[in-house]
Structure 1
Amino acid sequence: MNIENHRESGDKITIERSSFEFGHENTRTLPIEKEKYVISDLEAQSSPAKSEVSSESGNETSSIVTVGTRGRLQASMWDDMIFKMVFLLSCTIASFGTMLAKSVQEVFVNYAAENFESQYAVSSIFLVACSVSAAVNANYWKVEEEFPRILLFVFHMVFYAVGSVIKGTATNMCVLILGASIAESSISALSLGLTFFLSDFAATSGQFWKPFFIMVQLSPTIVVSWVVGDITAALSDDFAWGLTMWAFIVPLTYLPVALCMIHMYLRARSCENWASLDVSARDKFHSIFQYLNYCFWHFNIIGGCLLPLAFCCLLVPFTAIQVSWSSANFLVPFIIGLFLVPLFFVWESSVLKNNSTISTDMLKSRKLLTLACSQALCGILEMAERVLLFPFLIVAFSQSEKSAARIANLMSFFSFLFGSIAYLVSDLTGFFRFFILSGGIIMQLGFGVSIYFRGILSNSVSGIIGMIVILGFGYGLIRYPLQAYVDIKAQNIYMLQSISSSTFQLGKAIGAAISGGIKTQVLKRNISKKLTSGTDISMAYKTPFRFIEVFNSDTLRSKAIRHAFKDVQVVVAIVCVCIGAGNVLLSMAMKDSPTQLITKIFSFKKRKMLMKYVRWTWYFWGGLFLIVFLAFYLITLIYMCLFLSRVTPWVFGDYSQFPNVWVLAVESLMNALNQTH
């Protein structure tokens, strides 16, 4: 690397890089054009790899961020169009296998839990698995810089195969949760590692290739959303094989990517720069014990264990069992979780100052905070809506397995259709707030529609599908611009992507806890109220699929359990409406970052006028959306009152008389107006 000059101004260091050449034997030199980097101390502290450059006075040194230098060197080895297309095709195959495995296993986990007569606790499986995945992803950017990528890929593929086998051959719920946790954390780390490699390709390629490398991981959604129904219907008789077969299918789909990575690695090793870049911390230590001690502190092993333990102890008691709040089965793990949460923050802030997952200075970054909170909210809303959708469609709407699996995956399909367009626009212009605000409002509308169509007043499957389409539209307008929000002006791209993935997984864990807690605490009580005496309530609660098959001809019993499931879904939708308001508020805290395209097209004066126009347009649409938002909340409040009048008749009286109360109120108001005239 050739540094021509650098200067210090306050807490920032501006570095002009004149040339960066990757020498390669028997190949042409690959120059990278002159770039200017503005690196703050925050980014320098959080960079995975650093190099020291002395100042002119010779008394001070400054850190230069070289995030992903080895990865970008390997990516530059495949600079030709043919190589890029081969790599894109390989990544598409790997992403297709990953998404198909996740979608199919989400369906068969319901049947596995019912096989153990614990279908009510299926949310606990997703809760624990997502909590472990969040802990793995939080510090994965450090692991990525220390070990070769191909070694990590092989390691995670082996563990995913082991987790899938454990999950498919489980004999009780504890073993099933263990297998799901191993498999989910491994496949999540595989996807994150592939995201890092695609980011390296996007950084070394031109603007034309960038959207392809960023969106390739989500493009298989178009096919997966439709074929998942056929696969689940074909394997419905043997759910254990439906969980186990991915132990060799997913590693096979990652084989082309692994071969590409091996070829890039072999070509990069012959470069002159590789010897200086392929430096590991293990070279600094004389014994294996010193190196293991370094890994223990650097990778934050204790923090990675405290995080999932705290979440599981706090949230699992709400989802796994229906107990009294004062019983020991609930209080003991809950109190342990309350103790572990402050212990985790003390460990991160005081004990582990230099190697903490998120430093105190990073918490002052508005970009990082808004990104993490938005990703967490997206995870909460997605999982709260999705985790109970398949059994809800089977039980409450008598859908077939094929139809229910397809409907449950429609949200991903429509989010990709609309979100890909939003990503392109936000990536080219640097405007995010409008998309995220619009997506938050549209998701609120979708959950409001679901309050009606998921309730007992509707039996329309078309209404459920329309609700999912609306939710997918809003979800795509939030999630995909957030990815562009990570990419634009991000020097520490690995760290941001790891934190983004980790907070999204934490949000999914909280969403699973919300859905599971509502189902566990509400469903059994509703079933006992609606079913006639002499009916086995435990069968309807623990094995609802089997109950529907046995009592399908009994209209009264089938109707009772369907209404009980619909009541649970209405409560979940109301909670999602309340949580979804956070996306609207977070959109106002984000900052738009006009890109070079906007800078080149418009002069400073025109750009200032454009930003003023955008700001006032945003105020106009924000005010309009706020009015719609308040009206929507009023409608939601009315529906909530309708629901509460049915659950607690002493509040409003008999539910059947509730509409008459509104009629009497309107008539009284009209009489009062007539008397005033």
Structure 2
Amino acid sequence: MPLLDARDGPSYGAIPREENHTSMDFERDQLLQDGYETDDDSSDISTLDEAQEGVRKIEAINMTWTTRSLMIAYVSIFLMAFCTSLEGQTVMSLSAYATSAFSKHSLISTVLVVQNVVNAVIKPPMAKVADVFGRFEAFCLSITIYILGYIQMAASTNVQTYASAQIFYSAGSTGLQILQQVFIADSSDLLNRAFLALLPEFPFLITVWLGPTIAGAVLQSSSWRWGYGMWAIILPAAFLPLALSLLLNQRKAQRLNLIKPTKARRRRSIFSVIRRTWYDLDVGGLTLLSAAVTLLLVPLTLAASSKNGWKTPSIIIMMVVGVLCLIATPLYESSKKLAPKPLLSLHLLKQRTAVAGCALAFWYFMAFYFSVQPYLYSYLQVVQNYDVATAGRVTQTFAFTSTIAAFTVSLLIKYTRRYRIFVTIGCVIYMTGLALMLMCRQEGASHLQVLGTQVLVGCGGGLLNVPVQLGVQASASHQEVAAATAMFLTSMEMGGAVGAAISGAIWTHLIPQKLMQYLPEESKSHAGEIFGKLTTALEYPMGSPTRIAINRAYQETMNRLLTLAIIVTLPLIPLSLLMVDYKLDKMSPGSHDDGAETPLPVEVEPETDDQHHKRT
């Protein structure tokens, strides 16, 4: 059966439909024959107690998809992914020049901390917005926030404005990322999902080579500002087909009376609307989680640049309040009175696969931010003397190879019906690649050594990332697919945030120290400028005493980061073995593995009338 056949329904039920029906009444009758009583509370569409309105909407929309409309939606997903991927590869090469324009090159890590903090805290609320209001509404919100971020970065006149723009930029970017995955989870079964979940990743096969070239052209012909501003025009155009598909199918479902107003919706005052929205979005839990992540991670970079370091009173206060918020978050979320619809599905933390998968994602992405981001690009330009485009392509080799590896493993999962073995293999390859990076990443290393290690690390990352996400999703019901996906991606981003914060602290502490230690006397007065501007470091010719000192400082600091990357990957293999080895094509509603898991029901074939009545 084709991957985008409308008859190949989502994981919570496959509903056969005929694409060429033109009569609305006939379509509705066909749905009723399939067991969907639209005028009765016993409908297969989840009731209000089981699902929030956004989930009810997408379940109804899934009954109206035709093959054509579903293909249009997926094409739009690909177009948006292509735009955001190309944008990401382009601005990644521009960020060093944007921060250098404000004489703050070292603040790349601080910018990434802000990005990752926002990425970590925005995924659960964006998933909740999608569940509460609907997928279409959540997509529109993400696109709008994304555009605001582009505009603010393009117009920024100082590093503070540029850094604050990352809040909008990251919120829109990560919101779009999770909504794409949620939409794919809504409209696919588990066996095909591993492949379809890669659709937003396929553009990396091309954009990793185009992005650095575009960045170089932008810097030569215009400025880094246009490299941000142009995407405010391109991205909305790419979103238009998906917006129309969701909107038209939602209206179609309403005409078929598949989306019914709830009792709460029929009689509600302003107070009840505010109260319902507060609980639906779990504003209290979101506030606590955001405060905890922000107050614990941001001080890591501030302490390194502060005169008194960790003894600074404001930093101590931030850390203490952050710890208190972190402790209060699960207590608040577990309260039925305070959080009747919690932001975090805490009972998923009782399931071995969900916990192990999220922990694995945390450590994996932390290692990524010690090894590939945020300073490998600068290291390649300074120590290896690569130009803008070459350094960008080497840095993005990870994305290219991980995409190919993820595509391969998605096919292997589809035909083997297993996923855990690929997680373990990916962990082994990833750790091996990092070890070889430390051994081979020295000044004067050949292109083959530099590229080879990036290919190996990328292959390991691609092999483990997709099946881990699939395993976490498989341990959730349909109502919790968005929450489970958010929990997985949040864990990954929190690992990235911690990695970026620690790497930034190490870089900010060691580079100035080593520059003062190794620079010749005549250049020591320029140490601050060399540290603050990448362009200043590149002005000194290779082989000169000053450049040798700069390269040595960069090299020794990079070695420290790679050593930490290897250390934090030690838990990966044990965590992969803790995940339940689901046989995906044998999973059924209510089944349990080892008495610990309640996997997501998967229907490989449309159910018969007899099976339907037994289930209801």
Give TM class, smaller chain.
0.7 to 0.9
Residue 296 (structure 1) aligns with = 278
Report the alpha carbon displacement of residue 452 of structure 1 after superposing the two structures with TM: 2.0
Kindly provide the CA deviation profile for residues 241-265 of structure 1, in whole angstroms up to 9, marking residues without a partner as x: 1122222222222122112222222
Residue of structure 1 equivalent to 2:489: 501
CA 1:297/1:353 → structure 2, altered by over 3 Å: closer, same or farther?
A: closer
| Cα separation, partners in 2 of 1:223 and 1:19, compared to 1, 3 Å | closer
What is the CA–CA distance in structure 1 between the aligned matches of 2:453 and 2:64, rounded to whole Å? 46
- Is 1:306 the equivalent of 2:288? yes
Kindly indicate whether residue 377 of structure 2 is the aligned counterpart of residue 377 of structure 1.
no
Can you give the 5+ residue segments of structure 1 that lack an aligned partner in the other structure?
1-15, 36-47, 53-62, 600-677
Alpha carbons 1:91, 1:257 under 8 Å: kept: yes
- Aligned-pair CA distance for 1:232: 0.8
Post-superposition CA distance 1:592-613 (Å, at most 9, x none): 11133799xxxxxxxxxxxxxx
1:388 corresponding residue in structure 2: 375
Residue 544 (structure 2) pairs with residue 555 (structure 1): yes
Q: Residues of 2 paired with 1:519 and 1:255: CA distance?
A: 42
**1:136 aligned to 2:122?**
yes
Q: What is the TM-score normalised by the length of structure 1?
A: 0.75
Match of 2:594 in 1: none
Counterpart CA distance in 2 for 1:280 and 1:186 is: 33
Q: Distance in 2 between matches of 1:265 and 1:411?
A: 39
Question: Could you tell me which residue of structure 2 aligns to residue 70 of structure 1?
Answer: 57
Residue 30 (structure 1) shift: 4.8
Structure 2 residue 217 is the aligned partner of structure 1 residue 229:
no
Whether the 8 Å contact between 1:49 and 1:67 is mirrored in structure 2 is: no
CA distance in 1, matches of 2:587, 2:26: 40
2:520 is matched with: 532
- Name the stretch that deviates more: 321-330 or 87-96: 321-330
Are residues 1:448 and 2:435 paired? yes
Q: Equivalents in 2 of 1:191, 1:32: separation in Å?
A: 37
Higher RCO structure (Cα 8 Å, ≥6 apart): 2
Match of 2:25 in 1: 25
For residue 117 of structure 1, report the CA deviation from its aligned partner.
Answer: 1.5
Q: Which residue of 2 aligns with 1:315?
A: 297
Alpha-carbon contact 2:97-2:534 (below 8 Å) kept: no
- Residues 338-368 of structure 1: CA deviation (Å, up to 9, x unaligned): 3433243443345734333335533211122
Report the CA distance between 1:429 and its aligned residue: 3.4
Structure 1 match to 2:394: 407
Distance of 1:564 and 1:419 partners within structure 2: 36
- Which residue type is aligned with residue 84 of structure 2? T
Partner of residue 543 from structure 1, selected from 525, 533, 539: 533
How many Å apart are 1:499 and its aligned residue? 1.3
Aligned 1:104-119 pairs, distance under 5 A: 104-119=90-105
The aligned residue for residue 674 of structure 1 is: none
Identify unmatched segments of 5+ residues in structure 2: 1-11, 37-44, 589-616
Which residue number corresponds to residue 512 of structure 1?
500
Supply the distance in 2 between the matched residues of 1:193 and 1:230 (Cα, whole angstroms): 29
Give 1:557 shift. Answer: 0.9
**How far apart in 1 are the matches of 2:16 and 2:140?**
31
Match of 1:426 among 408, 413, 424: 413
Q: Which residue of 2 aligns with 1:121?
A: 107
Equivalent in the alignment of 1:483: 469
Deviates more, 1:554-563 or 1:222-231: 554-563
1:558-637 alignment runs, 5 A limit: 558-596=547-585
1:319 CA drift (Å): 2.0
SS state of the match for residue 254, structure 1? helix
Q: Secondary structure at the match of 1:273?
A: coil
Which stretch shifts more, 484-493 or 366-375? 484-493
What are the Cα deviations for residues 392-417 of structure 1, in whole angstroms up to 9, with x where unaligned? Answer: 11111111111111111111111111
SS in 2 for 1:325: helix
Q: Is the 8 A contact 1:412 1:472 kept in 2?
A: yes
Q: 2:316 is matched by which residue type in structure 1?
A: L
Among 441, 451, 456, the alignment partner of 1:465 is 451
- Higher mean Cα deviation, 251-260 or 19-28? 19-28
**Structure 1 residues 263 and 395 mapped into 2: Cα distance closer, same or farther (>3 Å)?**
same
Report Cα offsets for 1:465-507 as digits up to 9, x if no partner.
Answer: 1111000111111101123214446423222112112222212
**Contact residue 530 and residue 564 of structure 1 kept, 8 A:** yes
Letter in 1 for 2:135: R
Change (3 A) 1:450 1:32: farther
Find the aligned partners of 1:305 and 1:106 in 2 and give their Cα distance: 30
Look up the match of 2:9: none
Deviation at 1:527, TM superposition (A): 1.2
Taking the TM superposition and a 5 Å limit, the aligned residue runs for 1:245-264 are 245-264=230-249
Which residue of 1 is the match for residue 611 of structure 2?
Answer: none
Take 2:33 and 2:343, find their aligned partners in 1: how far apart are those partners? Answer: 32
Contact 1:318 1:520 in 2 (8 A): no
**What do residues 545-581 of structure 1 show as CA deviations (whole Å, max 9, x unaligned)?**
22212x2266111111112111111111111111111
Q: Offset at 1:34? A: 9.2
Q: Distance in 2 between the 1:413 and 1:254 partners?
A: 24
Rounded Cα–Cα distance in structure 1 between residues aligned with 2:115 and 2:210 = 25
Question: Contact 1:428/1:595 (CA < 8 Å) preserved in 2?
Answer: no
Q: Following the alignment from structure 1 to structure 2, what is the Cα–Cα distance between the partners of residues 489 and 79?
A: 29
Is the Cα contact below 8 Å between 2:292 and 2:325 reproduced in 1?
Answer: yes
Per-residue CA deviations over 1:584-637 (Å, capped at 9, x if unaligned) read: 1101111111133799xxxxxxxxxxxxxxxxxxxxxxxxxxxxxxxxxxxxxx
Moved more, 21-30 or 533-542: 21-30
Distance in 2 separating the partners of 1:556 and 1:125: 32
For residue 199 of structure 1, report the CA deviation from its aligned partner.
1.9
Percentage of pairs with the same residue: 20
- Give 2:607's aligned residue: none
1:216 and 2:216 matched: no
Shift of 1:518: 1.5
Which amino acid is the alignment partner of residue 439 of structure 1? Answer: G
Secondary structure at the counterpart of residue 290 of structure 2: helix
Distance 1:317 1:382, change over 3 A: same
Does the Cα contact within 8 Å between 1:50 and 1:66 map onto a contact in 2?
Answer: no
- Give the aligned residue type for 1:542: G
Change beyond 3 A, Cα 1:308–1:453: farther
User: What secondary structure is seen at the aligned counterpart in 1 of 2:197?
Assistant: helix
1:576 partner letter: A
Deviation at 1:300, TM superposition (A): 2.0
Question: CA RMSD, aligned part only?
Answer: 3.0
Q: Distance in 2 between matches of 1:395 and 1:18?
A: 55
Amino acid at match of 1:25: D
Aligned length: 553
Q: CA deviation at 1:20?
A: 9.6
CA apart distance, 1:186: 1.2
- Cα distance in 1 between the residues matched to 2:57 and 2:567: 45
Q: Distance in 1 between matches of 2:122 and 2:232?
A: 20
SS at match of 1:274: coil
Q: Is the 8 A contact 2:433 2:456 kept in 1?
A: yes
For the 8 Å contact 2:91–2:215, the answer to whether it is kept is: no
Alpha-carbon distance in 2 for matches of 1:232, 1:502: 29
Letter in 2 for 1:68: V
Q: Deviations over 1:490-531 (max 9, x none)?
A: 423222112112222212211211221211121111111110
Q: Is the 8 A contact 2:345 2:484 kept in 1?
A: no
Instruction: Show CA shifts across 1:300-359 (max 9, x none).
Output: 223323323333322223324423332346434333433433243443345734333335
TM-score of the aligned structures, taking structure 2 as reference length: 0.83
- How far off its partner does 1:222 sit? 0.9
Conserved? CA contact 1:161–1:183, under 8 Å? yes
The structure whose residues are more often strand, as a share, is 1
More divergent stretch after superposition (370-379 vs 559-568)? 370-379
CA distance in 1, matches of 2:13, 2:70: 26
Single out whichever of 467-476 and 301-310 deviates more from structure 2: 301-310
What corresponds to 1:43 in structure 2? none
